[in-house]
Amino acid sequence: MRFDRRGVAMLATLISVLACSPADEPPPTGHHLPADHRAGAPGIGDPDFPTDGNGGYDVSHYDLAIDYTPTTKRLEGVTTIHAGATQELTSFNLDLAGLTVREVSVDGSPATFTRQGDELTVRPPQAIDGNTPFTVKVTYSGLPKPATNNANLGTYGFIPTSDGAFVASEPNGSKTWFPNNDHPSDKATFDFTITVPAGVTALANGEPAGQPTTSGGKTTYRWRERHPMATYLATATLGKFELRQGNTAAGIANLAAADPKFKASLNDLYTASAEITDYWSTVFGPYPFSSTGGVVDDYSAGYALENQTKPLYGGFDPGETIIAHELAHQWFGNSLTIRRWKDLWLNEGFATYAEWLWSEHKGKKTAESFFRDFHQRPADDPMWKYPPGRAKPDDLFNQSVYTRGGMTLHALRKAIGDATFFTLLKTWAAEHRYGHVTTEQFVDLAERLSGKDLNGLFDAWLFQPRRPA
């Protein structure tokens, strides 16, 4: 479910014309083999993350089967990907970090494959026609290793714990546990079949697809997320968990899970998640998914991630502020998803502003007061040097993207008034429900609804390396 990148298609056509090599002639031999223009690109086209995601196809559904043993930390997996080719494909890539691939098939026929870095290149026995659906099945296994490389991102991806795994994959860590098109511009639905030793609980996105079944000392859990989801929001968090299940007052299925170490937070997590989901539904519009809730694991990440339908809290007692933040992401980030990482303020600025709105709603500190306190920070505060409208690939989650991003929304609220501002939030969420968004689209909508020229405001708040007046 990726957008059409017409420019890229035109460029591909131009290159094929320049290369002067008709598609059905065998490639010339010799030292200067032209790149096969029928090979899917190794990146999806995000200039800040050139090898993330892949070109030439668009995934509609992932079917993940995973068997994981906490004592050995070994994962056995079969991933079946349903995709549509967006061009003729003699080969295409998937993203996969580490692990050993045993077998790949395309539409049921064995395919050859090669590995290079985090790219798995698949060569089907026959080229796939453009505009055609196809299925690729990858059988793999090994000891998953989380990503640790990125400057300010810490450890993320599939993180083994003593009783299971803590799985938080933003921005590109889902390739540490299954082969996929690892970029938010390609969303898809997911089915999970997760087998673990009996006594271990498997928590993935969406809702249970049938009761767990146990045999031979192993339990298999099935989960289904039937709304489109970015790969970084996929989770299969495993371990010993206490559960509380029910419905919010407005009737949305609610599941809270806590590691026994955090048993004391289970009820608060359950209650706050329900209340906040229902409140955001009145402010942002109808909840986009079929269930809500959250998971507290004992891995001391010190952070949380907005995993679709099941935010994950790493090693602390989640309070209302962070729950409000992660649940606001279900609208801003998860239902409305960025096409490129530089627009990350559309996720984090909105979720941070939601924290202030929650505080205001509870009769505590107002959004205006948060805004003022931050605005008073001295001119040499690092936040003013970092324009949040262009998140930097080596410092993606800089505080500016959160705080100055949130301040941008408050400055906008003051400029267009409460009535238009809150209509804008709902209209934004409704118009792009389950879709993709860019900053330009948000600015356009704000101008359309307010009838004001807001270029100066957005430019000062999002794009200038100095404190706005």
Q: Which residues bind ligand TRP (CB under 6 A)?
A: 153, 156, 168, 170, 303-306, 348, 397
Residue 230 or 443 with smaller CB distance to ligand TRP: 230
Name residues whose C-beta falls within 8 Å of residue 110's C-beta, 6 or more positions apart in sequence.
103, 104, 125
Structure tokens at 270: 């359950």
Residue 92 or 262 with smaller CB distance to ligand TRP: 262
Contact flags string 311-350 toward Zn ion, x per CB under 5 A: -------------------------------------x--
State in angstroms the smallest separation of the CB of 304 from ligand TRP.
Answer: 5
The answer to whether 225 and 206 have CB atoms below 8 angstroms apart is yes
Residue 113 or 299 with smaller CB distance to ligand TRP: 299
Q: Which of ligand TRP, Zn ion, none sits in contact with 458, Cβ below 5 to 8 A by type? A: none
The span from the CA of 127 to the CA of 31, in Å, is 24
Contact set for Zn ion, span 232-291 (CB under 5 A): none
State in angstroms the smallest separation of the CB of 64 from ligand TRP.
Answer: 19
Q: Which of ligand TRP, Zn ion, none sits in contact with 305, Cβ below 5 to 8 A by type? A: ligand TRP
Residue 1 or 322 with smaller CB distance to ligand TRP: 322
State in angstroms the smallest separation of the CB of 173 from ligand TRP.
Answer: 7
Residue 221 or 353 with smaller CB distance to Zn ion: 353
Distances (CA, A) of 151 to 95, 118, 158, 397: 21, 18, 18, 10
State in angstroms the smallest separation of the CB of 365 from Zn ion.
Answer: 19
Distances (CA, A) of 218 to 171, 213, 359: 32, 8, 45
State in angstroms the smallest separation of the CB of 68 from Zn ion.
Answer: 27
The span from the CA of 163 to the CA of 146, in Å, is 16
Stretch in the footprint of Zn ion (CB under 5 A) among 124-132, 242-250, 351-359, 442-450: 351-359
Which of helix, strand or coil describes residue 180?
Answer: strand
Residue 176 or 193 with smaller CB distance to ligand TRP: 176
Residue 305 or 391 with smaller CB distance to ligand TRP: 305
Alpha helix ranges (H) inside 119-250:
none
Which of 292, 306, 396, 408 shows the shortest CA–CA distance to 350? 408
Cα Rg of the chain (Å, integer): 23
Q: Which of Zn ion, ligand TRP, none sits in contact with 165, Cβ below 5 to 8 A by type? A: none
The answer to whether 349 and 462 have CB atoms below 8 angstroms apart is no
When asked if residue 65 is in the footprint of Zn ion (CB under 5 A), the reply is no
Task: Find the length of the chain.
Answer: 469
State which of residues 230, 338, 351, 367 lies at the interface with Zn ion (CB under 5 A).
Answer: 351
Which of helix, strand or coil describes residue 295?
Answer: strand
Distance of CA 214 to the CA centre of its chain: 31
Number of residues binding to Zn ion, judged by CB under 5 A: 2
State in angstroms the smallest separation of the CB of 135 from ligand TRP.
Answer: 30
Which of 343, 342, 347 shows the shortest CA–CA distance to 328? 347
Structure tokens at 383: 């936040």
**Peptide bond before 171: cis, by omega within 30 degrees of 0?**
yes
Residue 87 or 337 with smaller CB distance to ligand TRP: 337
Residue 66 or 304 with smaller CB distance to ligand TRP: 304
Q: What is the DSSP letter of 357?
A: H
State in angstroms the smallest separation of the CB of 348 from Zn ion.
Answer: 5
State in angstroms the smallest separation of the CB of 314 from ligand TRP.
Answer: 7
The answer to whether 442 and 346 have CB atoms below 8 angstroms apart is yes
* Interaction site with Zn ion (CB under 5 A): 348, 351
